Amino acid sequence: MHFLFVADPLESFKIYKDSTFVMMRELQRRGHRLSACEPADLLWQRGGVVQAQVRDIVLTGDPQDWFKTEGERSTRPLKEYAAVLMRKDPPFDAEYIYATHLLEQAEREGARVFNKPRALRDHPEKLSILEFAQFIGPTLVTRDAAEIKRFHAEHKDIILKPLDGMGGMGIFRVRADGLNLGSITETLNRHGAQSVMVQKFLPEIVKGDKRVLVIGGKPVPHCLARIPQGDEVRGNLAAGGKGVAQPLGAREREIAESLGPVLAARGLLLVGIDVIGDYVTEINVTSPTCFQEIKDQTGFDVAAMFVDAVERAL
C-alpha cells in the first residue's frame, strides 16, 4: 500500500527521537510505499479533487541522509493513497485549521485520513479536557484578569498557559505570593484579547508529566514520565525534561480505558493523554510523540502497534 504523510519539512526531523520517522520506518519495513508533503502543498480547484505536491521517499538507514527522494515532485489526488497520515506539529493556528478543511474535503472524495480532520478541529489540545471534567484538577479558562486573580486567591499556587502553546511554551507558575501575576496575565491574555488556561499547580509533577499513548482506543502498556530538571517547573522534553518510561499505573490505565474508546470512535486513531498525579492536563491529537523513548527504554514497539491499527482500519 502507498501512504502519504502530511508533516513538517523532512529536513527538520530529528530522527533519533521523531515518532513520525519511526512510523515511516515501520511502514517501509512491511513493504509499504511512502510519500510526503507539507500542509502548504495541499491544493483544490473547482471541478477537481484535493491534491498535493508530493515527493516519493525511501528511507536509507543513514542517520545523516535518512531519506532519498525518488523521481521529481508530482501533484496527485489524496484519494489515490491507501491512507493520509496528518502529522503536522502545532501551532494549531488558522493555517492548520484550513488544512483540516482541505483534508476533510479529500475524505468526501474518498481519501482515508488519520487522525480524522474534523476530530482534529473538534479537539484542541488544551480545551479537550473540559469534556472529561471528572478526570481533571481545578481548571479555569477565561480572558478575564479578575477571574484569574480570584482563582489564584482560591488555590494559591497556579499554572497559567496559552491555549495554542506546545512543548511547554509560555507556561508560568505563580505561587502564593502572587508575584508577577498581573504582568503574566497581561502577557498571556493580551490585555483581555486572548483566552488563557489556569490550573491548580499539581506537586506530583516532580514524579513526571506522564504521556499516555492510546492507539485505536487501547492504551500502550508503558507511558513516558517527563520529569522536570533543576528548578524547571515544566516536564516537557522540549523544555529539558527527562523522559523515563514506566508501566502504566492503575490511574493512568483507568483514564486511558475511559477516554480511549470515546476518542477512537470519533476518528482519533492516535491520542496522547498527559497525566500529572491523578489528573489529566491535556489531550494531544495533532502529532503525539514519545514512540522512540518508550521503545528504547522498554522494548515495546509503539510504531508497530500504530501501524497494526492503521492496517486494521483500512
The closest of 178, 271, 267 to 223, measured between CA atoms, is 271
Q: Is there a single domain that holds both residue 191 and residue 209?
A: no
Stretch 240-245: mean pLDDT, rounded? 89
pLDDT value for 127: 95
Task: Judge whether 37 lies within some domain.
Answer: yes
Residue 230 and residue 217 share a domain: yes
Per DSSP, the residues of 244-283 read EEEE--HHHHHHHHHHHHHHHHTT-SEEEEEEETTEEEEE
- Is residue 181's pLDDT more than 70? yes
9 and 107 co-located in one domain:
yes
Whether pLDDT at 242 is above 80: yes
Please give the mean pLDDT across all residues of the chain: 95
Q: Which of 201, 234, 251 is the last residue of a domain?
A: 201
Q: Are 130 and 123 in contact, with CB atoms under 8 Å apart?
A: no
CATH number at residue 291: 3.30.470.20
- Residue 236 confidence (pLDDT): 74
253 touches 109 (CB < 8 A): no
Domain count, the chain: 3
Last residue of a domain, one of 180, 201, 222: 201
Supply 228's cell numbers. Answer: 522536570
Strands (DSSP E) found in the chain:
2-6, 33-37, 42-43, 51-59, 67-77, 83-86, 113-114, 139-142, 158-162, 172-174, 196-200, 209-215, 218-219, 222-227, 242-247, 270-276, 279-284
Residue 235 has pLDDT above 80, yes or no: no
- What pLDDT score does 114 carry? 98
In a domain, 126, yes or no: no
Q: Is the pLDDT score of 85 beyond 80?
A: yes
Please answer whether residues 219 and 225 qualify as being in contact, where contact means their C-beta atoms are separated by less than 8 angstroms: no
pTM: 0.94
Residue 240, pLDDT above cutoff 90: no
Mean pLDDT to the nearest integer, 205-215: 95
Say what the pLDDT of residue 294 is: 98
Same domain, 217 and 296: yes
Residues 148 and 55 in one domain: no
Share of the chain above pLDDT 90, in %: 91
Whether residue 218 is found in the same domain as residue 194: no
End-to-end CA separation in angstroms for the chain? 10
7 with 101, same domain?
yes
pLDDT at residue 27, rounded to an integer: 98
Which residues participate in catalysis according to the annotation? 126, 161, 211, 226, 234, 274, 282, 284
Q: What is the CATH number of the domain that holds 191?
A: 3.30.1490.20
Of 149, 178, 201, which residue sits at a domain end? 201
- What is the C-alpha to C-alpha distance for residues 271 and 263, in angstroms, rounded to an integer? 8
pLDDT bucket at 239, cuts 50 / 70 / 90 = low
The sign of the torsion formed by the CA atoms of 30, 265, 197, 121 equals positive
What's the alpha-carbon Rg for the chain, to the nearest Å? 20
**Which has the minimum average pLDDT: 14-23, 227-236, 250-259, 269-278?**
227-236
d(CA 100, CA 97): 5
Domain interval for residue 69: 2-119
Same domain, 81 and 104: yes
Rounded mean pLDDT, 112-118:
98
Residue 130 is assigned to a structural domain of this protein: no
The CATH number of whichever domain residue 10 belongs to comes to: 3.40.50.20
Tens digits of per-residue pLDDT, 1-10? 999 999 999 9
Residue-wise pLDDT for 122-149, tens only, equals 999 899 999 999 999 999 999 999 999 9
Same domain (yes/no): 114, 157: no
